[in-house]
Structure 1
Amino acid sequence: MSDPLNPEQLRSLTPLNMLSEQQWRELRSQLVPQPVLAGQLLFRQGDQARLTYYLLAGELSLQAPDGQRESVLAGSAASCHPLSPSLPRRHEARALTDASVLTLDSATLNRLLTWRLTYQDLILELGHQDEDVEWLERLLDNPLFAKVPPSNVRSMLGRLQRLELPAGSTVLREGEVGDCCYFLYSGRAEVIRGAGSAHQVLAELEVGACFGEEALLADSPRNATVTLLEDGVVLRLARQDFFALLKAPVVDEVSLGEAARLLASGAQWLDVRLQEEYQRAHALESLNMPLQLLRLKARLLDKGRTYLCYCDSGKRSTNAVFLLAQLGFTAYVLRDGVDGLPAVQREGLLCESGSGYLARSGGRVERSR
């Protein structure tokens, strides 16, 4: 199989050239040229598959319903645009020579384009004000901001407190009360859990990263320490502003009745409690992925599926939904958790011996009893 297209090749294709490099990375698995043999049909007139096609090499024929034919040659101006983009297709496309095409999921592409256009004016405006917008572009590349209105982002930018700190500075410390979250504007930072010889490096943060929000969402002490590895700048957002501007539009709550309708459409319960809690009682066919392991095990989840997160009080599941939004998943939180349900509903949701799934180490998911 061919290698994915490089940025120079992507910049020649409209409207792919409007996407950021981070968005291209999100599309990476689809950015692989596919061979088409001479005489092979690419799509028929009337086809309604939600796919976007580009011609990368060779020559294609586009035939209209009235029989008129148009030849498209790779490298021409026409090949820089999608082939017969309207649905249902207005043309039949057939390869005149051996060719190579790029096929993309139209829904994903449209989502990325909509996001980019939504924030483009804001980025240009700040650039005209001689603001350094690189950190903001990297921040907005986070799928989380696909759900945050531009007006909220503008308000957030006006409420951020800028802190210039030397290398070695501790921005937040494990065990402290969380009263704000931060964004990394410049420099590099390290996330550490534990102290002394028992400490564990969890991650290295890049420019644009948001950190410290977990303590706010769970209303609990900081669960890690963040230290600057080099001189840098962090931007502080107060607790009340975080809840009003970021959490509110991102974390969608559902009632048990609304959850039932989503389950009927293919959604799945995601239990973010500890395994011991899960094994005592859990929702049927639910997947157990404890909150503290969610970031590591999220690769086991399906981005094409909707997840309904629950815990006892709703705090851990709220944290989970916020995290999943940053990773590009669609997720909802059960309002007020299982403890907020009437006894009859709680007993109907949770069972002691119903089957479910456990996320194991090594990238495995196995059935539970």
Structure 2
Amino acid sequence: MSEPLSLEQLRSLTPLNVLSEQQWRELRPQLVPQPLLAGQALFRHGDQARLTYFLLAGELLLRAEDGTTQHLIAGSAASCHPLSPSLPRLHEAHALRDASVLAIDSATLNRLLTWRLAYQDLLLELGEASGDVEWLERLLANLLFAKVPPSNVRAMLERLQPVAVMAGEAVLREGEAGDCCYFLKRGRAEVIRRVGSDDQVLAELEIGACFGEEALLSDSPRNATVTLIEDGEVLRLDRQDFFALLKAPVVNEVSLGEASRLLAGGAQWLDVRLQEEYQRAHALESLNMPLQLLRLKSRLLDRQRTYLCYCDSGKRSLSAVFLLSQLGFDAYALRDGLDALPSLQRDALLCQSGAGYLARSGGRTERSG
């Protein structure tokens, strides 16, 4: 397998050259040259593949539908830009001699570019003030910030309160009331939940991770303990600032009618209640993934699919949507939950024996009903 591109090669390609090294690291699995043999087609007229191509070595011939051609040589100014970027493709491309190309998922590249350009001024400003922006890049790389306006981010940064934490110290404890959430700025932390007489480690948090928000969204006690594994620092955001600056732009809610239109377009119900609640009655073809297991079992979800989260009161659904946004999923919460539906609509939505799916251990889903 070819080696990933060097920094020098990346800096020569537009628009890859505006991305940060942190973002290049995220793209690293895709930054591998692919061989193209002489005479082989890279793409044809009308191609719809959502890939951004760059010529790295060799020569290509681009031919438009009207017959006009362009001879492209690696290393030229034209080769430093994407090849026929419009979709559907306006050209066909063939290798004139053995070549190599770079193919990057366009959606991922567009997300990174949008983020970088939206926050570039803020990063430059903070870099000039403190010289320490790596933590901010990692914070903003959290996918929930793709939905947060830069003005909200700026206001949030002004209100964050730094808190130094020693290794072994708990930032928040299971069962306590929640009046704030936190972001991990430095160090490593783990999420622990009490199961019977044992402590179960649910996850290890990375720098930039948000935690403690579930108690705010559900207006319930903390459902886990977060402890620092090594000396570090967290950033505290008060409840009212969380709701105004983060929850409002990130958590989308829909009515039952709006949910029905999304279902017709391929969305799926995601029941975030306990399995016992789900088995009593659930939406047809829904997937049961209890909120407390959502982070662990999210790998079973399809990133190309939209999920409609529901629970009885709507509070667990809000937490689920916020978490899924951090993980890069497209999700909505049923506004005010099942309890707010008129009895006829609730009875029509829920069924006792209709087919559904349960998320099981071992990375699989199981048909139910």
Indicate the residue corresponding to 1:307 in structure 2: 307
Aligned 8 A contact 2:202 2:296 in 1: no
Deviations 1:16-51 (A, max 9, x none): 233345544554554444332211222234545443
Q: Which amino acid is 1:220 matched to?
A: S
Q: Which amino acid is 1:134 matched to?
A: E
Q: Does 1:232 align with 2:221?
A: no
Report the CA distance between 1:84 and its aligned residue.
Answer: 2.1
Aligned length: 369
Q: Which amino acid is 1:266 matched to?
A: G
Structure 2: how far apart are the matches of 1:136 and 1:19?
A: 15
Q: Secondary structure at the match of 1:313?
A: coil
Structure 1: how far apart are the matches of 2:65 and 2:103?
A: 23
Indicate the residue corresponding to 2:60 in structure 1: 60
Aligned 8 A contact 2:214 2:222 in 1: yes
- Label 1:337 to 1:49 Cα distance change in 2 as closer, same or farther (>3 A): same
Report the CA distance between 1:294 and its aligned residue.
Answer: 0.9
Q: Which amino acid is 2:301 matched to?
A: L
Deviations 1:206-236 (A, max 9, x none): 3222111111112111122222233322211
Structure 1: how far apart are the matches of 2:311 and 2:265?
A: 22
Indicate the residue corresponding to 2:200 in structure 1: 200
Indicate the residue corresponding to 1:127 in structure 2: 127
- Label 1:32 to 1:353 Cα distance change in 2 as closer, same or farther (>3 A): farther
Aligned 8 A contact 2:22 2:137 in 1: no
Q: Secondary structure at the match of 1:199?
A: strand
Indicate the residue corresponding to 1:157 in structure 2: 157
- Label 1:57 to 1:125 Cα distance change in 2 as closer, same or farther (>3 A): same
Indicate the residue corresponding to 1:145 in structure 2: 145
Structure 2: how far apart are the matches of 1:337 and 1:216?
A: 17
- Label 1:232 to 1:30 Cα distance change in 2 as closer, same or farther (>3 A): closer
Structure 1: how far apart are the matches of 2:104 and 2:132?
A: 33
Q: Secondary structure at the match of 1:124?
A: helix
Indicate the residue corresponding to 2:331 in structure 1: 331
Deviations 1:116-159 (A, max 9, x none): 21111111111122252221110100110000011111111111
Structure 1: how far apart are the matches of 2:307 and 2:4?
A: 30
Report the CA distance between 1:89 and its aligned residue.
Answer: 3.7
Structure 2: how far apart are the matches of 1:58 and 1:2?
A: 16
Indicate the residue corresponding to 2:112 in structure 1: 112
- Label 1:291 to 1:2 Cα distance change in 2 as closer, same or farther (>3 A): farther
Aligned 8 A contact 2:56 2:101 in 1: yes
Indicate the residue corresponding to 2:73 in structure 1: 73
Structure 2: how far apart are the matches of 1:192 and 1:102?
A: 42
Gaps of 5+ in 2: none
Q: Secondary structure at the match of 2:130?
A: coil
Percentage of matched positions with identical amino acids: 80
Deviations 1:285-328 (A, max 9, x none): 11111111111111111111110000111111111100000000
Q: C-alpha root-mean-square deviation of aligned residues, in Å?
A: 2.3
Gaps of 5+ in 1: none
- Label 1:348 to 1:144 Cα distance change in 2 as closer, same or farther (>3 A): same
TM-score normalised by L of structure 1: 0.92
Indicate the residue corresponding to 2:218 in structure 1: 218
